[in-house]
Structure formats: C-alpha cells, structure tokens
Amino acid sequence: MDLARLVESYLEHLQARKLAANSLRAYRRDLESVAGELVELTGTPAERLAVEELDASVLRSAFARFAARRSAATVTRAWSTWNGFFGFGVIEGAVSGNPMKVVPKPRNAPATPKPLQGEETPERLLRQVAAGVRKARNPWPERDLAVLATLLCTGVRSAELLELTVSSLAGRSGDRRLHVQGKGGKSRSIPIEDSLDELIRSYLRTRKQRFGNRLPGAEPLFVDHRGGKLQRGGLQYLVRRSLQAAGVSDRVQPGAMVHALRHTFATRLAEDGASAAEIAKLLGHSSMNSSQTYIDVTAREQRLSVKANRTHRVLGELG
C-alpha cells in the first residue's frame, strides 16, 4: 500500500475514535510533515511511495531532518504519531513490522507547571473582569467572567472547554457537576461549587437577553459575540485581553496562556493537600506522573520560601 493511502486510512481510523478536532489536526500535521521529509529523501511522491519500503534507516534520516527545526516535545509527539501509524499498518497487514522501535526519540525533560504568578493574581483577574475593565465594542463581562472562572475552578483544557454544551452542566443544586469529554474520548465529572454555578447561570441569562433564543442541551455552553460557538482563537483572545486589562499579563510565564489557568487550578489543589490521584482524576491525566509534578513543584516552592527567611542568616553565624 502507498504511504498517502495508508495515512488517510489511519486518520479515518482516528476519526472513528471520536478524537477532538484539534487532536486530529495535530495527527495529520505530524504525519504529513514527516511524510514530506520521506518524499524528499526518496524522491518518490507519497502516492507512489510503498509503506513496506520505509525501513528504519530512511525513517531515522527523515526524523533527523524533521527534528532540526523543532523542539524535543514536538519531535516526541511526532514519533508517537508515527509509532501508532505503523502499529495500525501492522494490524491492517500493510507492513510486516513496526520500524519505529529502532528510530530514536528525544528524551523530554519533565514539563514544569506554569501557573499564574502571584498569590492573589487569579482573584485580581476575576474581580477586574467582573468590574468591566476589559473594553470592547460589545462588552460582555458576564460571559468573560464565566469562561475565566470555569478555567480557574475546574482546570479543564481549552479544547475541553470549547466542546462543553449546555447539558454538560448537570445535577441538583448543591451537587452540581460539569461533565467533560477529555483526551482520547475519556469522560470525567468535575464537581462545581454554587458560586461558579451561579456565575454560569448569570452568563446564560444575559445570553438569552442578547440573542432571545432557547438553550437546548446540545447548544455550546460558551459562545462568541455573535452567538456562535466560541472558537480556539476567540478563547485565546478573550484570555489574553482579560489578563492585559486586569494588569496581570506580566504574571503569565513564557509559553503559557490559557493553559496557565489550568496549571493554577492544579497547583492550588497541590498546595491545599490534594493527592496525585485526586489531581489526576480532576485534570483527566492518564498517568499520575503528570499530576505528581504539581506536588513536587509545590514542595520545591515551599522550600525556597523557607530558605529565603532572613533569620537563617543569623543561624548560620551562630552555628
């Protein structure tokens, strides 16, 4: 079978697993990028390049070229994509074995959480947005506040937030929950407090006033200023502009934006004594190793704070 045809078959297989649109785009990007390197190396178009002819040697060369302009995390993700691709090829009988087992991948340093910096930063952000500091042609502070509060108080990923529907909120008063469709189609249920529930209800009331329509359960929970489903770019713009308007954009660490709110949620759980298992369940982590990172970082920050105590200088003189 040729490479182009097997790539499309694999993507159809992934689509049947109900993966999020962003995940499918990432898989396609990884497959097509490395395939482009293979085409250049072999001089054969993808639609004529036989998959069974792709041995470890040419794949190592393709990944070396691919890695030259990309981060270790990106290369590792692409390696995993191609590993899954060849695993699928073995099952389909298109190849006899998986050559990726002998194609090296970079070792990633454990990702360091990047929460909002500053003890009161989340509270300042929410208070300022509620007060209407974010200026816009068509301001909607109730919507902005509900979005930010949901991110900060549930720790959902941006893609998960965008896929929430009105029916994702369920349960009786005092026992409300947010049903989230996570990575790999795994669902989880996150308890929400009455305060967050009321903010979302307030936003939904203003939404009805703006657009004058009913809100059936299948409708997206969060919408843009035209009443359409909030998109990824719109969410990123909302968060960025809210941080700027609240005067806390300098407290977002490099490489973080919307994800900083998720990291803030997880870090505060760790600070308040939550276990790695509890954090993993709430965040939808497939491994507790990711959740343990928040606990480890919290412990390190606590030790650094203690070390900064000036009294220790005197103890050093007395010892």
The CATH number assigned to the domain holding 239 equals: 1.10.443.10
Integer Cα distance of 82 and 65 in angstroms = 15
- What is residue 306's predicted lDDT score, i.e. its pLDDT? 43
Helix (H) and strand (E) counts for the chain? 13, 3
131 and 94 part of one domain: no
Q: Where are the beta strands (DSSP E) in 16-56?
A: none
Q: How many domains does the chain have?
A: 2
Measured in degrees and rounded to the nearest 5, phi and psi for residue 119 equal -60, -40
218 and 158 part of one domain: yes
Residue 305: pLDDT over 60:
no
Indicate the residue among 46, 70, 102 that finishes a domain: 102
Beta strands at 169-170 and 177-181: parallel, antiparallel or unpaired: antiparallel
User: Domain with 35 in it: what CATH number?
Assistant: 1.10.150.130
Residue 111 is assigned to a structural domain of this protein: no
Residue 285 is assigned to a structural domain of this protein: yes
How many CA atoms lie within 13 Å of 114's alpha carbon, on the beta-carbon side? Answer: 13
Q: Which domain holds residue 230?
A: 120-317
Sheet containing 177-181: which strands, arranged edge to edge?
169-170, 177-181, 187-191
Helices marked H in 163-310: 194-211, 232-245, 258-271, 276-283, 288-307
Residue 107 is assigned to a structural domain of this protein: no
Least confident stretch, 156-170, 210-224, 266-280: 266-280
Residue 188 is assigned to a structural domain of this protein: yes
Integer Cα distance of 310 and 15 in angstroms = 58
The per-residue pLDDT for range 48-91, each reduced to its tens digit, is: 999 998 999 999 999 999 998 888 888 999 999 999 999 999 99
Residue 66 is assigned to a structural domain of this protein: yes
Read off the pLDDT of each residue in 164-191 and give the average, rounded to a whole number: 90
Least confident stretch, 95-99, 107-111, 302-306: 302-306
The answer to whether 280 and 295 have CB atoms below 8 angstroms apart is no
Average pLDDT, rounded, for the chain: 87
63 and 201 part of one domain: no
The per-residue pLDDT for range 238-296, each reduced to its tens digit, is: 999 999 999 999 999 888 899 999 999 988 888 888 888 888 888 888 766 666 776 66
252 C-beta neighbours (distance < 10 Å), count = 22
276 and 147 part of one domain: yes
In the numeric block, the tokens 């990575």 are attached to 183
156 and 127 part of one domain: yes
How many CA atoms lie within 13 Å of 182's alpha carbon, on the beta-carbon side? Answer: 18
Integer Cα distance of 265 and 284 in angstroms = 13
166 and 279 part of one domain: yes
- What is residue 23's predicted lDDT score, i.e. its pLDDT? 86
139 and 94 part of one domain: no
Residue 64 is assigned to a structural domain of this protein: yes
55 and 127 part of one domain: no
Residue 115 is assigned to a structural domain of this protein: no
**What burial letters (b/e) apply to 35-74, b meaning 16+ CB within 10 Å?**
bebbbeebeeebeebebeebeeebbebbbeebbeeeeeeb
Residue 131 is assigned to a structural domain of this protein: yes
310 and 216 part of one domain: yes
134 and 260 part of one domain: yes
Indicate the residue among 73, 102, 131 that finishes a domain: 102
Which of 168, 153, 157 minimizes the C-alpha distance to 204? 168
Which of 146, 38, 128 minimizes the C-alpha distance to 85? 38
199 and 294 part of one domain: yes
Indicate the residue among 54, 76, 102 that finishes a domain: 102
66 and 140 part of one domain: no
Integer Cα distance of 21 and 171 in angstroms = 28
